Each structure stands twice: as C-alpha cells, then as structure tokens.
C-alpha cells in the first residue's frame, strides 16, 4: 500500500501533493510545497528525508515559525486533528487539575526561555515521561534546544507520514483502482 502512495505522490500535481501532505508538518504546508519539486521519491522514507531536508534548508525564521505552529502540550485549546490524536494517545487530554497546572507552568517557563512551545513526539508516551523531558530540556542552551525541537518536529512528521500511508492508498479526489 505504501508503494502505491509513493507512486501516486510522484505523479501528483503540486496542488494534490500539498493537499495530501500539507498537514504532515503542523500548520506548515510550505514544507510540502517546497518538497514537491524533489520528486520522484523511491519510498516513503525517501519522501520523509526530503521533507526533513526542506525544513533543514529553510531560513531560521521559517524554522521558528514552524516550531511556533505547534500547540502547547496539555493545552485545552483548539488544535489540529493530528495534534489532538497524538496528545490523547499520551493521556494529555485527561490531565487532572494538578497535572494541568504543572504542564501550564512548564510550558510557560519553556516558552519564556526559548520563544517557542515545547515540542516532543508524544504519541504513546506517558505523562511522567513527557514532564521529565520538559524539565530536562529547559536546561538546554538556546541552540541545542532549537535543534532538538526541529528533530522532534521531524519525528512527529515521520509518524504522521507513516499514519497517512497506512490509512489510505490514494490521494484526495482520486478513484481507487482496487474495485
């Protein structure tokens, strides 16, 4: 099924490519837009690597905007479906009042220090693991944490791309050949 997805993506026009992959990086369809011209991809891994390179090659301002597009962990505000699912898998949608307060304090401390939200691939992680990671990473230098956050964004994108390629085998608006 994933091979069919790669073939479809390689044949897709830019609009369909971006419609399909625009949500892989949080609120940042520019990653898919800039990656489209790098086709053809030999595999989903090749596509993911190309998207990560697109992020790496972007200006620092564009990278910072990508980081800032992510919601705070444990936040009870509107966010993308992907973020909601990922946070729910870690139990962040079921925080007790005390846990919620702790996350709010850690999020604020982190954001004040680094200028962007704490980012971690939280899918299926425990609340305790996430909180400990937050506490540890607050001690990082600005440059180390900026790179760590970008690395986590790429892990999240890799997980989202894997989910996308296992959940369907055709692009939006494309009829299935499996009838």
35 vs 168: CA distance, rounded Å: 21
136 vs 107: CA distance, rounded Å: 13
Catalytic residue among 34, 70, 137, 160: 70
The pLDDT assigned to 179 comes to: 36
Average pLDDT over residues 48-66: 98
Q: Would residue 62 count as lying in a domain?
A: yes
Q: What is the pTM of this model?
A: 0.86
Q: Count the alpha carbons within 13 Å of 1 in the hemisphere toward its beta carbon.
A: 12
Q: Which residues contact 34 (CB under 8 A, 6 or more apart)?
A: 54, 58
The pLDDT assigned to 19 comes to: 95
pLDDT of 129 over the 80 cut: yes
Average pLDDT over residues 60-79: 90
Instruction: Residue 100: give its domain's CATH number.
Output: 1.10.3330.10
Average pLDDT over residues 147-160: 97
pLDDT of 176 over the 70 cut: no
pLDDT of 166 over the 70 cut: no
Q: Domain of residue 98: give its range.
A: 2-167
pLDDT of 108 over the 90 cut: yes
The pLDDT assigned to 165 comes to: 84
Count structural domains, the chain.
Answer: 1
Which band of pLDDT confidence, cut at 50, 70 and 90, is reported for residue 173? Answer: low
Is 56 a residue of the active site?
no
Q: Would residue 178 count as lying in a domain?
A: no
Percentage with pLDDT > 70 across the chain: 89
Q: Would residue 175 count as lying in a domain?
A: no
């Amino acid at each position: 099924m994933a091979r069919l997805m790669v073939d479809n993506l390689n044949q897709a026009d830019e609009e369909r490519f971006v419609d399909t992959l625009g949500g892989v990086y949080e609120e940042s369809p520019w990653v898919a837009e800039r990656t489209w011209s790098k086709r053809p991809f030999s595999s989903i891994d090749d596509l993911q690597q190309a998207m990560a390179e697109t992020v790496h090659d972007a200006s620092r301002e564009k990278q910072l905007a990508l980081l800032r597009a992510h919601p705070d962990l444990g936040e009870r505000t509107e966010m993308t479906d992907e973020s909601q699912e990922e946070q729910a898998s870690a139990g962040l949608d079921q925080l007790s009042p005390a846990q919620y307060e702790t996350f709010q304090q850690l999020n604020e401390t982190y954001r004040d220090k680094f200028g962007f939200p704490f980012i971690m691939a939280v899918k299926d992680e425990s609340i305790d693991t996430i909180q400990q990671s937050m506490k540890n990473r607050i001690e990082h230098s600005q440059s180390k944490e900026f790179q760590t956050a970008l690395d986590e964004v790429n892990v999240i994108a890799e997980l989202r791309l894997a989910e996308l390629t296992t959940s369907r085998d055709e692009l939006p608006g494309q009829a299935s050949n499996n009838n």
